Structure 1
């Protein structure tokens, strides 16, 4: 086997491989002999088909099959000999594959990029801290009650938290615009579903009223054609409904998987859940900052094969979230391009931090993570036993812990500032980036 490698870009390689004709011909002859022993053709007894007939009928297809197998096997062997780490499967192109001639083929593929980590001390991390107040708990319980609320139609003026059924029609300079109209729309006042000023303008409206309001689209609105433009909305209020909140009792508590005898016990469980969410949000915010810092300080070339694989993964996740009613390949790749590239770069950078600093998974942190997960279940001992006996799931925990260790290492090198914020602000800041 003869091998030559050409570097066509930072991450693309073009490998030319030659295989002696004798190796191909022998493999083809052996496969034809195997075919002759099993093939059934009219006019011949099983196993008695002349080789000349077998070769005439199956020679071309067998040769193509053998060439494909030999290209694959020799490509893998060449990678090992050349000590090359590919990023994905190559494009294999045979240049010659005629009988009696040496096989020559080209493998075009990408390699994992060489990464030189930037100056981690230039990374700035803002670490949030927050305390959960009684008011935060009150707000959370109010939200939980509203999730279980029933609605009652009322004749009074509307106020925040009421649900209005409305028709609206928007226009700019007298012309209606796409997406600016709806009928029978359910709107919770104070939910900030609509553009700024819309909900505030109809607070106090009653069922049967028709209103004309003027608002301005924000400068950062997602639709370029509407950014910063003043608009007029004609609104008809059909119904005003007031939420009827459920009582704080054992039946209500049980709907959230909480066994509590009274409100005090329920509040304590709610607080514990909020503390877990707060811890996770703060952790997410720090990790996002670490990723942003690594991306800003280190250049990374992305192999297209890895990007495409991640895009397909994201498309499949999107289809699953929306009920799996469409083929994931129908979703435009461009929608997921930026997110996929961020994920791929993050993975490559984290791997480099692990390699350069020889980081190893800390078994104590793995046990701690499993204990933390188990504590959210009714039978924590069963959960711990499950992870201990399931190598695949334990491996996932170990990967998560190793990521945490990468974050901790970058934090130890970066400039970290503490910032105290309210609970809700910390939760919002810690929303994971998709």
Structure 2
């Protein structure tokens, strides 16, 4: 910090500090005179030639504005210098007020939000359940059957439409004898049991045969998205054209090659499926115990979060949701109106994330944790296994500093969880594979 800058600090709260900064007026005056001289070279005032305007006229006409510009520039330059000199971990931009000239000094106050310096409570009181699951032969067989279902075909069948059958039909809907928009379609395909239609619709079609017609009565749900239809009774005229049953593909060489199995047959596919499921279990269990540990810690640590941090987290979560919308609807994220996603929608989760970030950072600082580069390498290798060319993925994360830094942050957070678990009490609980993965998906929502 420049030796002529004087700074005093006053901590207003755990999340806010006020600095009083004094800058010698001489520093202001020198810059003002320099700018006045520059203006004098180009100023145009009636009655004077360019560059020949007396300095007294320049000061009279431009002096006040130039002085204010210089003061603004000096404040902008010195406030961050003062923050750095006082070793303040600022969050967001400082708020400047009470600017005045006093006793040969420019004096101003800067109120800045700071990263809260909390003492993390309850680390040794953490009690969590660590969920795990075992991959049974039955689970493997079910998974392979699911792979078959993903590639199943439908073949025509005689007789009545039953569960899992695909029905092709025309329908025409009406309410009180009047057709309504979106209530009709031709060659519509519906799998019985998919529950993609309103309640009662599938039940009305189930049991029908190709070539059969009938009218079914249904009631739109009270919370139906089209308000003009919500809660109303409707009639649909159904004309079934085709009933098909599912046909699973044979597990032959062609099927196996779809999953990269060229040798070893069905047993190799089972081995690969088991490894993948075990990897999913490992990741899901890790996610579950991390969530449980952080939840336990958040219960014991409630504190105010700087508004700037909260606003940044809200904006981050809003952008993430807009990206999801973009991927889901195939539109640019910029095409979505942010007003559709108000701050209130994200405040609760944003507050949780901001508090958690502060807690994790404090644990890292106070316990002197440093990222384990060996774990980073293992993390990258495991992630690369999910791609066709693992070496290319490894090279990407090795050479891209920003992406590697992101992985280092994830690994360091995992190290924090390991430390917290080592200080608390952990009880292992066996759950089903499906329940473990379902819980992970719920956490991600």
| TM-score, normalised relative to structure 2 | 0.75
Check the 8 A contact 2:128/2:293 in 1, yes or no. yes
1:85 and 1:112 in contact (8 A); partners too: yes
**In 2, Cα distance between equivalents of 1:168 and 1:427:** 41
**Is the Cα–Cα contact under 8 Å of residues 45 and 53 in structure 2 kept in the other structure?**
no
Choose from 139, 143, 146 the match for 1:140. 143
The yes-or-no answer on 1:401 pairing with 2:404 is: no
Corresponding residue SS for 1:90: strand
1:25-424 to structure 2, matched below 5 A, reads 25-34=29-38, 59=63, 62-93=66-97, 95-96=99-100, 102-149=105-152, 156-162=159-165, 188-191=191-194, 204-206=206-208, 208-212=213-217, 242-243=245-246, 245-248=248-251, 258-260=260-262, 262-321=265-324, 322=326, 323=331, 324-326=333-335, 329-330=338-339, 331-424=341-434
Instruction: Give the secondary structure class of the aligned counterpart of 2:312.
Output: helix
Distance in 1 of aligned mates of 2:251 and 2:44:
81
Contact 1:159-1:203 at 8 Å conserved across structures: no
**Separation in 1, partners of 2:10, 2:72:** 22
In structure 2, the gaps of 5 or more residues are 176-181, 226-230
Per the alignment, in what secondary structure is the counterpart of residue 426 of structure 2? strand
CA shift in 2, pair 1:49/1:121, >3 Å: same
* Cα-to-partner distance string for 1:152-183 (whole Å, 9 max, x where unaligned): 676754433345679899x9xxxxxxxxx976
Contact 2:201 2:216 in 1 (8 A): no
Contact 2:117–2:362 (Cα < 8 Å) also in 1 = no
Offset of residue 289 of structure 1: 0.6
Check the 8 A contact 1:205/1:237 in 2, yes or no: no
Q: How far off is 1:295 after superposition?
A: 0.6
* Residue range with higher mean Cα deviation, 147-156 or 137-146: 147-156
Report if the CA contact (8 A) 2:96-2:108 is conserved.
Answer: yes
1:35-54 deviation digits (Å, cap 9, x = unpaired)? 556x5869999877765676
Q: Residue 437 of structure 2 corresponds to which residue in structure 1?
A: 427
Which TM-score applies when normalising by structure 1?
Answer: 0.77
Task: Flag the 1:42–1:409 CA change in 2: closer, same or farther, 3 A.
Answer: same
CA contact (8 A) 1:15 1:107 kept: yes
Provide, for residues 217-238 of structure 1, a one-character-per-residue CA deviation record: whole Å limited to 9, x for no partner: 9xxx999xxxxxx998867666
Distance 1:251 1:56 in 2: 89
> Rg: which structure is higher?
2
Deviations 1:15-61 (A, max 9, x none): 33333332222223323444556x58699998777656766776555
Distance 1:208 1:49 in 2: 97
**Count of residues paired in the alignment:** 413
Look up the SS of the partner of 1:87 in the other structure: strand
User: RMSD of the alignment, in Å?
Assistant: 4.3
CA contact (8 A) 2:214 2:237 kept: yes
Cα deviation per residue 1:104-158 (whole Å; 9 max; x = unaligned)? 3332221112322222243222212212233323433343444445556767544
The 1:160–1:285 alpha-carbon spacing in structure 2 relative to 1, beyond 3 Å, is farther
CA apart distance, 1:307 = 1.0
Aligned to 1:88, the other structure's residue is in SS state strand
Mark the CA change 1:421 to 1:102 in structure 2 (over 3 Å): closer, same or farther: same
Secondary structure of the equivalent of 2:35? Answer: helix
Cα 1:204–1:414 change in 2 (3 A) is farther
- CA offsets per residue over residues 244-281 of structure 1, 9 Å max, x none? 5555456555656x353544433433333222222111
